[in-house]
Structure 1
Amino acid sequence: MTTTGLARFIDRGFVALAVNLLTIFRIKWRHRFLLRAYRRWGMRMKEWPNYISARSDVDGGNYSLIYVGEGVTISSYVRLLTHDWSPHTIGKAMGIFTEKPLGKFGQISIGDFSFVGTGSVIMPGANIGKGCLIGAGTVVRGTIPDFSVVIGSPGQIIGDSRDVFWRMAAREGWELPSEAVRSVL
């Protein structure tokens, strides 16, 4: 492990410890602390996300490959993958041994006001549009258009998140600001 790698390891260990200690106090403080750490490590954020669970995970360690839009919610146990080294392992099975690992890095983009459900996996190169609803346990890859509802493994688009919103609003009897209702009618 290089000196820089060791410093990052210690930095992340400190942040994990601090997040766990802050859990005892206030969730709001824990969340702000975690978001500041993500920014420090290079994650790009348009504005403050709505929520990123401390139990979510960035696998690959290159936070600069991740863009999170304004108002995004990332639930617990979501894994953001910025790399894919499976070709290296498969190559070995085929008798192909190389000094340099075979694989790729890919950016991840999560559009404004999108929701990523618990246990989802966001693959390298995924581009999630604005206002998307990613169901729990979904494996997301490729480009997801704005306002899509995506579920499954592999993720499939099954609807429009605006339709889901209006059906739920009607069923639950939510009182919405009249200008919000007028703007969509």
Structure 2
Amino acid sequence: MSKDYIRRLLYDESNRKNHFENPYPGGVGKAFNLLNFGGFMRYSVWYYRRLGIKIEGAITYICPDVYFDSADYSAITIQTGVTISREVLFLVHDYSVHTAMVNVGWNAPKGKTAHFIKPIKVGKDSFVGARATLLPGTEIGENCIIGAGSVVKGKIPDNSIVIGNPARVIGNTKDWARKKLEIKDWVL
């Protein structure tokens, strides 16, 4: 891959209109300014796919500070139209099972650590709010909203609004959107 190709991939003049204010201090901020929104998204999706994360279709946005668990990148699936906000944690592994089993008398094989890895899937057109944590085995349906700071585990039905720790369904995205349209509680 040539330097020119990477330079074009990272900085495309046609995407300057998508550039937004630099939220990062110092050197990271300078890098952010160089990448601009369109270039950053193209490069980051390419990079995440190279790691093994399954990204299906076009992603709306993945914030640069999202943490994808490196225990098994291939256990993460993100479908088309997904937005992932700041500091979201995708956790596919759990090593705490080892300590728990040792504490009840299990003799661990020397040099081995018991653990499990379960997949995480974020369904089409879903939104994951800032600092949400997606635990091993989480499957978020299509058109869902995961509230900021939520700790999510298990299967979330399509069109759900989910908040809390532990996360629970509190509403339906279609009903919520209709209400927003009705009361004109939004701007462009």
Shorter-chain TM band: 0.7 to 0.9
- Contact 1:60 1:83 (C-alpha < 8 Å) held by counterparts: no
Counterpart in 1 of 2:153?
141
Partner Cα separation in structure 1 for residue 103 and residue 65 of structure 2: 34
- Contact 1:19 1:30 (C-alpha < 8 Å) held by counterparts: no
TM-score, scaled to structure 2 = 0.77
- Contact 2:45 2:55 (C-alpha < 8 Å) held by counterparts: no
- Cα RMSD, aligned residues only: 2.2
Identity %: 35
Partner Cα separation in structure 1 for residue 184 and residue 148 of structure 2: 21
Unaligned runs of 5+ in 1: 1-17, 176-185
**Deviation string, structure 1 residues 29-53 (Cα, Å, up to 9, x no partner):** 1222111100011111220211111
**What displacement does 1:169 show?**
1.9
Structure 2 residue 168 is the aligned partner of structure 1 residue 159: no
Partner Cα separation in structure 2 for residue 117 and residue 49 of structure 1: 15
Partner Cα separation in structure 1 for residue 41 and residue 76 of structure 2: 18
Structure 2 residue 47 is the aligned partner of structure 1 residue 37: yes
Partner Cα separation in structure 2 for residue 37 and residue 97 of structure 1: 40
Partner Cα separation in structure 1 for residue 40 and residue 119 of structure 2: 26
**What displacement does 1:118 show?**
0.4
Counterpart in 1 of 2:37?
27
Q: How many residues align?
A: 159
Unaligned runs of 5+ in 2: 1-26
**Deviation string, structure 1 residues 63-96 (Cα, Å, up to 9, x no partner):** 1111111100010110001111111122344454
Structure 2 residue 81 is the aligned partner of structure 1 residue 64: no
**What displacement does 1:172 show?**
2.5
Counterpart in 2 of 1:112?
124
Partner Cα separation in structure 2 for residue 32 and residue 133 of structure 1: 24
**What displacement does 1:61 show?**
3.5
Partner Cα separation in structure 2 for residue 147 and residue 83 of structure 1: 27
Aligned partner of residue 48 in structure 2, secondary structure:
helix
